[in-house]
Copies of this chain bind each other. A is one copy, B any other.
Amino acid sequence: KIFVIDDDESVRRSLPMLLESMEFEVETFPSSEDFLNREPFNGTGCILLDINLGGKSGLELQEELINKQYSLPIIFITGKGGVPESVRALKKGAVDFLQKPFDDQQLLDAVEEAVAKSHTIRKEFDELKKLQGLISVLTERELEVFKYVITGMLNKQIAEKLNIAEHTVKLHRGKITEKLGVKSVAELVRIAEKAGIKFPSK
């Protein structure tokens, strides 16, 4: 799914034709504000964004989307934008920066790259959410024990740290491995790494 944001009506007519011929779905917007008013999209795709727009400029929209954790890759398209704009856009993560006039193949290559990137981002995001979902079913105490377990501490040491019986630690540990559906510490560590869990400083 491709979003075209450009104040030039001829672009909003020609690009969709090209892209739809390549089996992409396309939506067009004449301004940043119109795009922001659309309900948030969270599939895979990319944004083709003009720099010079009435209202919020393309670069401003990019910043705003970054702040909103909006993860669609952006390809800039510009008539008169220069080097400073392109540098700023790319440093902020834009996939490409095309100057009009560009040929169809250039655009399609960029779109393909952006969509591939979008897929990767989504996959990682889904994986993260899945793991965080799993971890969120742990109780507070279980999470606490979990964090100590993945540092490699013995049940005995964890028990001492938490001032509870070693036996109780074992019970929590049993619950943890049951809830997370794993059978070894190694898997727990991997889950924690992927989910970005930090361990207590000691």
A interface list, Cβ under 8 A from B: 81-84, 86-87, 90-91, 96-97, 99, 149-153, 182-190, 193
Which chain B positions have C-beta within 8 A of A152?
182-187
Which chain B positions have C-beta within 8 A of A84?
99
18 A-B pairs with C-beta separation under 8 A = A81-B83, A83-B97, A83-B99, A84-B99, A86-B90, A87-B96, A87-B97, A151-B184, A151-B186, A152-B183, A152-B184, A152-B186, A184-B185, A185-B189, A186-B189, A189-B189, A190-B193, A193-B193
* Number of copies of chain A assembled together: 2
Instruction: Specify which of A90, A189, A190 lies most central, judged by the most chain B CB atoms within 10 Å of its CB.
Output: A189
Which chain B positions have C-beta within 8 A of A149?
186
A149 to chain B, nearest CB (A): 7
Which chain B positions have C-beta within 8 A of A182?
152
Which chain B positions have C-beta within 8 A of A96?
87, 91
A98 to chain B, nearest CB (A): 8
In the A-B complex, the 7 residue pairs with the smallest Cβ-Cβ separation, listed nearest first, are A152-B184, A152-B186, A90-B90, A189-B189, A87-B97, A83-B86, A185-B185
Q: Which residue of B lies closest to A87 (CB)?
A: B97
8 Å CB contact of A90 from B81, B87, B150, B189:
B87
Instruction: Specify which of A84, A87, A90, A153 lies most central, judged by the most chain B CB atoms within 10 Å of its CB.
Output: A87
Bound-state Cα–Cα, A165 to B192, Å: 32
Bound-state Cα–Cα, A153 to B183, Å: 9
Q: Which residue of B lies closest to A194 (CB)?
A: B193
A122 to chain B, nearest CB (A): 21
